[in-house]
A and B are shown apart, each in its own frame.
Chain A
């Protein structure tokens, strides 16, 4: 059976929310993100994009390109709130909704065309979201997730696009290979070097050639280029990992500082684990050097949510990984392989005092927030 999948994306979501609250921003270039030298652009208005600014660009460069832009710090809680309102409106009408990110949804509308036609239903839904929230939103409608997502990209800003079953290939053919989700900073230059610039070329290629060049990933890209994507719309995503990263104001090799930052990141993540009643069994440490060389390493451990066990492992991994004698720009910690469960106390390593302390700290944090109480070592300026 042919499916009907809709992808919707809120246009310049963060900027749109800020404009709702402050109409002075309408029609002007707006940048959202951290204002420090090391911050990056989280979102920017179409007016700012004309100057060559794009999201994930360093804020410093963005301000050079567009000095008249208005800078907004950004408020993630506020954006979540608006995002949830949009999700609610969609879920009211559509049975299978996957929230892919804060501003993106996939809707499975297969079989809903019996009386009104899915295209009309989608248009009505879009108008309703715009009317009720005041946020611009774009839709792409097609037979699978990949084509719908690309169609949304073509529909922007604030538009609609429909790609009927059977016309996926001609629709994709004239587009740049950049538009295919999964082709990023690594694969794009590689394919360009091979002389491939449009999806049309990929469609004409042999799937085995793609497999030889890019392995299994090549097959998946080839499928996407031909408008084939069997993945289902999954209503609920279990969180697979949790991570924290820290970019330094100035690159550093201050070991004591690095150690403190790592330990406090572990502390916070371990608290999140316990708060959700989860355990991790895989930790990853990430280092980015000042020349942007990025290295990661990971290790397995018995299921745990204790910062003591995890920080031991994290420091071990860090010492193994840090070998370059170069300034460090960014450091990160990630917990993955998460399962539901509680921490198994250790007979010899956990004293009753430790357990009670940890419990008391967690209680304070639950009530007054993450940073209301920290361990002594985590104080950066003791």
Chain B
């Protein structure tokens, strides 16, 4: 079998699939791309056993229709490297499934890569017994972007190493937490008509975020008890879900934080970036002292006698307070908000602070929660 394709189009598509291929694999065949040609449709597949990404593209074939069918596994590294160094041009691929080789002919010459039998490539999980919901691509992309950074890397708490998708009658909620912070994003415009929840691991979400288009085209999300499938007409991703119970996040979000502070987000971030340089590296502790309508942000590292202090004006309603946060986590959270001003809701120095965007998208409700540092006696 053989086909002709533009080198840059193929490279772009291989890169979509290639993100999931890790450099140290359990099975040698996982270093490969699976090429599956069915006449004019070429399907490329990449997998790390947990996650499988497929992408379809149109290629040119000459000769008899119906004859050009076949599958082969091709080592990913050498192929990508080659295509990166090839100027844009049509390239002819000749696949010999008898001795498992791939021959590439371009304007500059001929190249040969030894492949492996396609039968040994992992199978895609079967999508049976699934529920489904459709969601605009951009909405999912944004939801992943605004939650994924808060997932935990602690393998002792597997439920927290992914983002919790909570589908509901009237809304869909995405939650991520690492027990120090929690991000909850509720979309009122994504409805599924039933109530289900599942946890998607971090790695496939990271890939998904990178490969889906940033537009309003619909994505179909299918899921059963063990797997998630995300599809549009060109792309599909399937991955194993985390088999664990997500912690009871609703009960730990304080319902009534009586005091609130409104402050310019960009000013706060740049202030934190400067001040936290002077904080102790291990704890990155930054102290907010709020008095009237000014907030005094300070940090120190007693081990080296470093000290930093800044003052910002804000709108504050509540009692004067001193509360400490991890500056590094706070900067990361605030950088993932997209509003000019941010509202911080507080109650006592030992309770969580809640950050919300001011005048955000009416279709979404974003809540970021950060546990304080308990400053000693």
Contacts and interface: CB of A to CB of B under 8 A. Distances in A.
* A and B found bound together: yes
Contacts of A340: 280, 282-283, 300-303
A355 B281 CA distance: 24
Contacts of A238: 303
Contact of A355 (B180, B282, B350, B377): B350
Interface in A340-362: 340-350, 352, 355-356, 358-359, 362
B182 A359 contact: no
Contacts of A339: 280-283, 303
A347 B180 contact: yes
B377 A345 contact: no
B373 interface: yes
A31 to B, nearest CB: 38
A343 B351 contact: no
B373 A281 contact: no
Tell which of A279, A341, A352 has the most Cβ of chain B within 10 Å. A341
A344 to B, nearest CB: 5
A363 interface: yes
Nearest to B254: A352
A345 B302 contact: no
A346 B352 CA distance: 10
A342 B371 contact: no
B374 interface: yes
A359 B180 CA distance: 19
A342 B303 contact: no
Given A303-B283, A347-B179, A347-B369, A342 B350 contact: no
Interface residues of A, number: 30
A143 to B, nearest CB: 31
B371 A345 contact: yes
A165 B181 CA distance: 61
B179 A349 contact: yes
A16 interface: no
Given A339-B280, A352-B351, A359-B374, A344 B252 contact: no
Interface residues of B, number: 31
A165 B44 CA distance: 78
B247 A344 contact: no
A275 B377 contact: yes
Contacts of A179: none
B371 A362 contact: no
B373 A343 contact: yes
A274 interface: yes
Contact of A348 (B179, B324, B375): B179
A56 interface: no
Contacts of A342: 283, 285, 324, 373-376
Interface string B251-282: 01000000000000000000000000000111
A338 to B, nearest CB: 9
Interface string B96-125: 000000000000000000000000000000
A126 to B, nearest CB: 33
Interface in B320-377: 324, 326, 350-352, 369, 371-377
B92 to A, nearest CB: 55
A345 B283 contact: no
A264 interface: no
B376 A362 contact: yes
B299 to A, nearest CB: 10
B177 interface: yes
Interface in A308-357: 339-350, 352, 355-356
A277 interface: yes
Nearest to A341: B283
Nearest to A238: B303
Contacts of A344: 180, 283, 326, 371, 373-374
Contacts of B324: 342
A4 interface: no
A363 B377 CA distance: 6
A91 to B, nearest CB: 19
Contacts of B283: 279, 303, 339-342, 344
B160 to A, nearest CB: 9
A289 B283 CA distance: 37
11 contacts: A277-B302, A279-B283, A340-B303, A341-B373, A342-B283, A344-B326, A347-B181, A347-B352, A348-B252, A362-B377, A366-B377
Closest 3 pairs (CB-CB, A-B) = A341-B283, A274-B376, A339-B282
Given A274-B377, A303-B283, A344-B180, 5 more contacts: A339-B280, A344-B371, A347-B369, A348-B252, A350-B371
